[in-house]
Amino acid sequence: MRSLLLLLGLAACSSDTFVAPADAAPTDASADVAAVPISIVGATPIQIVTGIDPALTLTPPPAAGNAVIVGITCFSEVDNCVIPQGGVTDNQGNAYRRVVEGASIISSTTHGSRGYIFVAESVGPTNGAFTIRVDANGAPDANYQDFAWGALEVAGLAQANSVDKTGSVPNVCCELSTTVSTSGPTTQANELAVAVHTARSNDNNVNYGHEPTWTEHHVNVNGTTGASPHSMVTKVLSTTGIVSHTWTHDAVTRGTSAIIATFKGRTP
């Protein structure tokens, strides 16, 4: 009898059914899977140009499936510098969405500077150089315009519908700091926040400062060189909530505005 019981016990142990020990943690099939890490793979140098529709090359080209985020501060004598949907393109056929448009810092009914954030999600394979172009309203030969801008390659973002929350602050003058916040809390913990500050000032150094937990990728501090002062910063998020960023700067002579957007990370 004892031998029979032993054999039955061995048979039970060798079955395909896993029996958790009494002190094992409970399993939950609906538990969140681990998020794919978000990282800034590459960044162009800031480009400052005047009098032309600008173009820059992202070197090395972005990997297929990654996102390209473009941050722009522009000045124009037409429409206070409007870059419409479709106003950012590349030579590889990727589509760029205008995520958020900043308030214009105006000097007349048509002259003004403002910030923009555009994104191309899940770019395709690149053939040759990867060149991005910006086309604001108004032809540059008859319209003075200038740009301070750059682009980032980002890995780990959702391949579609990645934009989560946005926010902006209007043109204000002439404080020593600017804070921009999203319009509401983020919907997931794994996100990337991107913020752009724009200023107009007759100052050769507006002395930008940014929060230490954020990374500044592009900055133009000189408001007398042909392009408006500009700062683009990012932060990889790990918790949900309203997202904000504060820049410090000199009291500018004309005004400041700022924009922010968050982008959802990918999950397996």
What integer pLDDT is reported at residue 142 of this predicted model? 66
- Structure-block tokens of residue 30: 């609906």
- For residues 109 and 10, give the distance between their C-alpha atoms in angstroms, rounded to a whole number: 87
CA nearest 62: which of 121, 125, 149, 156?
125
97, 66 in Cβ contact below 8 A? no
Rounded Cα distance, 132 and 70, in Å: 9
Question: What number is the average pLDDT over the span 154-180?
Answer: 95
Of 16-30, 125-139, 154-168, give the range with the top mean pLDDT: 154-168
Question: Concatenated DSSP letters for 226-258?
Answer: SS--EEEEEEEE-S-S--EEEEE----SSEEEE
pTM of the model as a whole? 0.86
Average pLDDT over residues 47-64: 93
- Of the candidates 124, 132, 118, which has an alpha carbon nearest to the alpha carbon of residue 72? 118
Tokens matching residue 188: 């997931």
Across 22-44, b (16+ Cβ under 10 Å) vs e yields eeeeeeeeeeeeebeebebbbbb
92-128 pLDDT, tens digit per residue, is 999 999 999 999 998 777 788 999 999 999 999 999 9
